[in-house]
Amino acid sequence: MPFARVRGLEINYRIIGDTGEWISLSPGSRHPYVNFVSLAERLAAAGFRVLLHDRRNCGASDVGFDGDGSENEIWADDLHALLEQLGIVSAVIGGSSAGCRLSIIFALRHRAAVRALLLWRITGGALAAKQLAESYYGQYITLARKGGMPAVADSDHFRECIRHRPSNRERLLAIDPRQFIAVMTRWQEDFLSGGSMPIIGATESDLRSIEQPACLVPGNDLIHTPAAAANLKRLLPHSEIHEVVSARGEDDLLPEWNKDEWDSKEADLARIFTTFLARIKASANQKIVALNHPDKDEH
């Protein structure tokens, strides 16, 4: 599996597909990119090239807890640097849950590199912010305070990072626990502040400023609510929304996402995305033709 040196860290990536427009996809939580290989293969079969990568602190990439900004901002800047290394000037940027948040932050920080957005399992609300902030940051702050970096390295998530990339153990143990706690606390506070935003990580004015077309697919659980997707649809100027999993009312949401349900709908998700991208490409081509062949006044 290839690695790229990105902003001081080794990032594991994979390209699926040989020709066509570029798509970059990022999974939810801190899951590795392998969760999206099947979806990427469907998109590649439809004529796209798909870039998958393990974000820092995920999968087989290096762990690293430095740099300014939120974790999503750091992930977005890492992805942009990876695209530049691979010679990809612009791409369709997409993701699920945490990958959705990354995609939106990417669109705000690197506008010229975004052709369109594919956003599903959209996260929003105070409950989501509270639960995810504890899952992503709070639990590791507690571990570091009680047992230092050996306790962090022995956690379920980072034990997997070490299994995929053994050098991550030494990288983790070399970190000053005080520095680790400071970074994770800053990321946690930033994440919690997103509970009052339309979606975690972006304000209304941020979202209204995104001009690229966006395809939205809502979730049906307490973290990825239909209301968050509807709110995003209201604010993104050029967006459309499509149901994939079973629709539920706000008082009947699942306590957590049903991975089996989403996996069973993967073909539908791929079809929605490819149809959306074909349509916006056709629209862009029509605009180019109109610009190159303007109507002339015969009089």
Q: Where do the structural domains in the chain lie, given as residue ranges? A: 3-125+198-292
Q: Angle at the Cα of 21 (from 199 to 232), degrees rounded to 5?
A: 15
- Output the DSSP codes for 246-281: PP--TTS-BSS--HHHHHHTHHHHHHHHHHHHHHHH
The sheet that has 114-120: what strands, in order across it? 3-6, 9-16, 49-53, 22-26, 91-96, 114-120, 214-217, 239-241
CATH number of 3-125+198-292: 3.40.50.1820
Band (298; pLDDT cuts 50, 70, 90): very low
**Residue pair 93/24 in contact by the 8 Å Cβ criterion:** yes
Mean pLDDT estimate for the chain: 93
CA distance 247 to 245: 6
pLDDT at 290: 56
Rounded average pLDDT over 214-240: 95
Instruction: Kindly report, residue by residue over 260-271, the tens digit of the pLDDT.
Output: 999 999 999 999
**Nearest to residue 233, comparing CAs of 272, 260, 198?**
198
- Out of 167-171, 179-183, 199-203, which region has the weakest mean confidence (pLDDT)? 199-203
- Out of 81-85, 161-165, 247-251, which region has the weakest mean confidence (pLDDT)? 247-251
Band (284; pLDDT cuts 50, 70, 90): confident
Rounded average pLDDT over 61-69: 89
pLDDT at 287: 61
3-state secondary structure of 49: strand
Instruction: Kindly report, residue by residue over 98-147, the tens digit of the pLDDT.
Output: 999 999 999 999 999 999 999 999 998 899 999 999 999 999 999 999 99
Q: Say if residue 299's pLDDT is above 50.
A: no
pLDDT at 283: 77
Reading the block at residue 145, the tokens are 């305070």
Q: Say if residue 286's pLDDT is above 80.
A: no
